[in-house]
């Protein structure tokens, strides 16, 4: 059973693609919880929705490729700008002018683009463990190099972050990946949930997502190449944000280094709340503190 069922559950079509969205609660202030990498869908916000919707109107939606949204295999649908356009379409469908926008991991890219391309729609932006290439991450470069190559005979760890391996051993990859996301001890339930959501989509969708263009038309693929170019592009994007920004980042984040969150806050002129000992999804593993920090920010920018 869900702790809080939506008051509205509907779909909106943008450019031929159906996006499932949900609306909870009511209020003058709306909080939009963005999708993230489409390996999971909007249920990853389940620890936030019941609490926030007692105070605000909360909107969630599934990104293309998972949940109640169409399983697109068109890479252009997975570009950050496309996500920003989807988010605006969802706000339009809900009749919401402005919202406090919250993006986690890849959702940090979508939120940052939304705040620059559609700044009138964003009252404040929260970036959680944002997937922004703003800090040196040598491991990631190696992983990106190997992504399109054949995987080794006995793949270990991040060897599994490999396109061919996804196709051959999708659920094993998901289990590995979420064990890295949830590095905190005693995370069994969080891992089970996420692996379950991952099972609702598959390697074809993730492949399309991996081939996306992140920002503009410079051809860089965030997952697979050119970290230097990407770093410049994203620094520019963050510098252009003019709404209040809060970054939440765990010190033990194995997916995005804490340094990236620090840089994001600095570039955007925002605040940083560090979760010491937390991994990549503190909203799931430290939901109480996360909710309180989020509420405090929303109160301040929209209260």
User: To the nearest whole angstrom, how small is the minimum distance from the Cβ of residue 227 to another protein?
Assistant: 26
259 binds another protein (CB under 8 A): no
Q: Rounded to an integer, what distance in angstroms lies between the CA atom of residue 161 and that of residue 203?
A: 12
Q: Environment class of residue 276 by beta-carbon count within 10 Å: exposed (0-12), middle (13-18) or buried (19+)?
A: exposed
**H or E element that contains 246:** strand 245-250
Binding window for another protein (CB under 8 A); candidates: 29-37, 141-149, 200-208, 267-275: 267-275
Binding window for another protein (CB under 8 A); candidates: 50-58, 75-83, 235-243, 272-280: 272-280
246 binds another protein (CB under 8 A): yes
CA distances from 224 to 131, 213, 216 (A): 13, 11, 16
Number of residues near another protein (by CB under 8 A): 19
296 binds another protein (CB under 8 A): yes
User: To the nearest whole angstrom, how small is the minimum distance from the Cβ of residue 190 to another protein?
Assistant: 14
How far does CA 289 lie from the centroid of its chain? 19
User: To the nearest whole angstrom, how small is the minimum distance from the Cβ of residue 272 to another protein?
Assistant: 4
273 binds another protein (CB under 8 A): yes
Quick note: the x/- pattern for another protein over 183-222, rule CB under 8 A, is -xx-------------------------------------
User: To the nearest whole angstrom, how small is the minimum distance from the Cβ of residue 144 to another protein?
Assistant: 30
Of the chain, the end-to-end C-alpha distance in Å amounts to 32
Instruction: Tokens for 291, please give them.
Output: 């909710």
**H or E element that contains 228:** helix 227-240
Residue 300: count of CB within 10 angstroms of its CB? 12
CA angle 173, 178, 179 (to 5 degrees): 100
Residue choice 11, 180, 235, 274 for contact with another protein (CB under 8 A): 274
Q: Rounded to an integer, what distance in angstroms lies between the CA atom of residue 290 and that of residue 246?
A: 12
265 binds another protein (CB under 8 A): yes
Residue choice 195, 286, 294, 295 for contact with another protein (CB under 8 A): 286
Identify residues 5-24 at the interface with another protein (CB under 8 A): none
User: To the nearest whole angstrom, how small is the minimum distance from the Cβ of residue 101 to another protein?
Assistant: 18
253 binds another protein (CB under 8 A): no
* Residue 169 three-state SS: coil
Q: Which residues pair with 24 in a beta bridge?
A: 58
| Nearest residue to 65 (alpha-carbon basis) of 161, 217, 209 | 209
Q: Rounded to an integer, what distance in angstroms lies between the CA atom of residue 203 and that of residue 293?
A: 35
Nearer to another protein, 70 or 286 (CB): 286
User: To the nearest whole angstrom, how small is the minimum distance from the Cβ of residue 291 to another protein?
Assistant: 12
263 binds another protein (CB under 8 A): no
Residue choice 37, 51, 151, 275 for contact with another protein (CB under 8 A): 275
Residue numbers at the binding site for another protein (CB under 8 A): 184-185, 246, 265, 271-278, 285-286, 289, 293, 296-297, 300
């Amino acid at each position: 059973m869900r702790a809080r069922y939506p008051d509205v559950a509907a779909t909106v079509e943008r450019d031929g693609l159906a996006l499932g969205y949900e609306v909870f609660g009511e209020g003058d202030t709306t909080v939009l919880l963005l999708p993230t990498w489409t390996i999971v869908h909007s249920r990853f916000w389940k620890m936030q929705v019941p609490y926030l919707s007692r105070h605000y109107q909360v909107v969630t939606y599934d990104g293309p490729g998972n949940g109640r949204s169409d399983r697109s295999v068109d890479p252009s649908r997975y570009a950050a700008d496309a996500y920003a356009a989807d988010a605006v379409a969802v706000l339009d469908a809900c009749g919401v002018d402005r919202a406090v926008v919250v993006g986690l991991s890849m959702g940090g890219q979508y939120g940052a683009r939304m705040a620059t391309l559609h700044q009138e729609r964003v009252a404040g932006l929260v970036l959680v463990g944002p997937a922004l290439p703003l800090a040196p991450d040598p491991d990631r470069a190696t992983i990106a190099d190997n992504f399109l190559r054949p995987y080794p005979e006995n793949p270990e760890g991040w060897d599994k972050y490999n396109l061919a391996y996804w196709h051959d051993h999708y659920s094993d990859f998901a289990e590995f990946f979420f064990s890295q996301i949830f590095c905190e001890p005693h995370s069994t339930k969080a891992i089970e949930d996420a692996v379950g959501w991952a099972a609702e989509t598959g390697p074809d969708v993730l492949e399309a997502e991996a081939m996306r263009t992140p920002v503009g038309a410079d051809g860089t693929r965030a997952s697979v190449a050119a970290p230097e170019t990407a770093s410049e592009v994203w620094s520019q994007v963050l510098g252009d944000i003019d709404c209040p920004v809060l970054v939440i980042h765990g010190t033990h984040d194995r997916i995005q280094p804490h340094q990236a969150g620090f840089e994001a806050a600095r570039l955007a002129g925002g605040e940083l709340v560090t979760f010491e000992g937390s991994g990549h999804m503190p909203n799931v593993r430290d939901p109480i503190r996360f909710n309180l920090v989020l509420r405090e920010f929303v109160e301040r920018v929209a209260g």
